[in-house]
A = this chain, B = another copy of it.
Amino acid sequence: MRDMLGREDVITVEKALELIFNNLTPIFPSETKPGIEASYNRILSRDILSPEDLPQFSRSTVDGFAVNSSDTFGAAEGLPSYLNLGGEIFMGEKPSFGIKGGTTAKIPTGGMLPDGADAVVMIENTNRIDERLIEIMRPVAPMENVIRAGEDIKEGEMILKKGHCIRPQDVAALAGLGITEVFVYERPAVSIISTGDEIVSARSEIKPGQIRDMNSFNLAGLISEAGGIPIMRGIFRDEFGDIKNAARESLKDSAMVLIIGGSSVGTRDVTEAVIKALGEPGVLFHGVAIKPGKPMIGGIISNKPVFGLPGHPAAIPICFEQFVKPTLRRLTGISGKGFRDKKIIIKARMVKNIASSMGREDHIRVRLEERNNEIWAIPILGKSGLIKTLVEADGIVVIPLRKLGVEQGEIVEVRLF
């Protein structure tokens, strides 16, 4: 594909990602071993096998009477079985006695079965005749109302695999097994290089002609959300040497480098020249059929991804979601189904016709509004240089390459920011 001015080939988003992935051999980050309380959302760097059975003893799942199930066979309301009460079992304690044929023991939910018992009759299906005699009005099968030793997790069983992203319930399982520290991957560091002779720090007073850096902050938040550690390298002048030095230094201690294009003449060429000068294979694509975000540059230097992002604020979250995030996720060591990498999607009706060009993915910022119990998407059509268009937006509607637009009233999927 050629862009509007016929200046350069632009490729599809799909093809761009393919180029990155085909030229990247993910290197797993180094390991660290936090306590499980600090392990939420981290990626396991080793398989976890259970060191023991869970539970370590057979437990009752109901309040009732522990029995040898064969003593209850044939029991019915009209024809109960009678068992002698051998004692009571207390929570958290090993029973001090076993039961033999014809005896039973009172047991609470979670209590440990005594020797000789293989099932529990629910209290509702029993009657206490006197201090010593219990009437059983329903038979139980072996293991009925019981969680057997090791039934939840067996010693030696694989609980969680290397590459798994730890969720709250996974930490619960680790705690249950007495595993209180786990090996996880370090989060990949991502350097952010801001460029532009007119850009000054957010903490600066500004003079006429200057604007403060915004895009680094947007990227830093997105990198954190995606499981990386953002390193804001600072703001550099639009000079080949300055940007090249900043990128080379960044490559030493980062897994990925992002260069945000300034907006002066030829900046894009500077970023491209820097990526080309720093190593092999260098620039893999420059220009993608996406709006906003067309001037996107993707490259790899010594197996580390380096992206050049356009400086228009509205292009930042689009380019991040499409190119940077999928690449970054590969560097975290995560494996598996990837469902959790998706974003929250809200269905909404578009309030007006939106035109889009064939051969270009259009990413439309929208605001969501509830009207008459329906959710409507209101497009925000301001210039992509305006940060307010992002602040006002709740999410993005994507109009695919081969679609000419969206009609008023059409149901669209809004990917929330």
Cα A197 to Cα B92 in complex, Å, equals: 6
On whether the beta carbons of B387 and A54 are closer than 8 Å, the reply is yes
Residue among A40, A212, A219, A262 facing the most chain B CB atoms (10 A cut-off): A212
Say yes or no: is A131 at the interface (Cβ < 8 Å to chain B).
Answer: no
On whether the beta carbons of A217 and B168 are closer than 8 Å, the reply is yes
Q: Known contacts A198-B92, A209-B94: does B169 contact A218 (CB below 8 Å)?
A: yes
Majority SS of interface residues in chain A? loop
Bound-state CA distance A63–B202 (Å) is 25
CB distance from A385 to the nearest CB of B (A): 6
Contact B108 A153 (CB under 8 A): no
Task: Indicate whether A209 sits within 8 Å of B57 (C-beta atoms), given known contacts A159-B391, A263-B110, A346-B339.
Answer: yes
Residues of chain B within 8 A (CB-CB) of A337 are: 368, 370, 394
A210 to B111, CA, bound (A): 9
Q: A180-B202, A213-B175 are in contact. Are A91 and B264 (CB under 8 A)?
A: yes
**Is residue A55 contacting chain B, with contact meaning CB distance below 8 A?**
yes
Copy total for this chain: 2
Q: Which of B198, B214, B220 contacts A110 (CB 8 A)?
A: B198
CA distance A207 to B40 in the complex (A): 28
Q: Does A374 contact B (CB under 8 A)?
A: no
Instruction: Decide if B55 touches A167 in the complex (CB within 8 Å).
Output: no
A-B contact pairs, 29 of them (CB 8 A): A5-B124, A37-B217, A40-B224, A54-B387, A57-B209, A59-B385, A91-B197, A91-B263, A92-B198, A109-B263, A110-B264, A110-B311, A111-B264, A167-B221, A167-B417, A168-B221, A168-B317, A169-B390, A169-B391, A172-B214, A172-B215, A172-B217, A172-B218, A174-B217, A176-B202, A177-B212, A337-B370, A337-B394, A339-B344
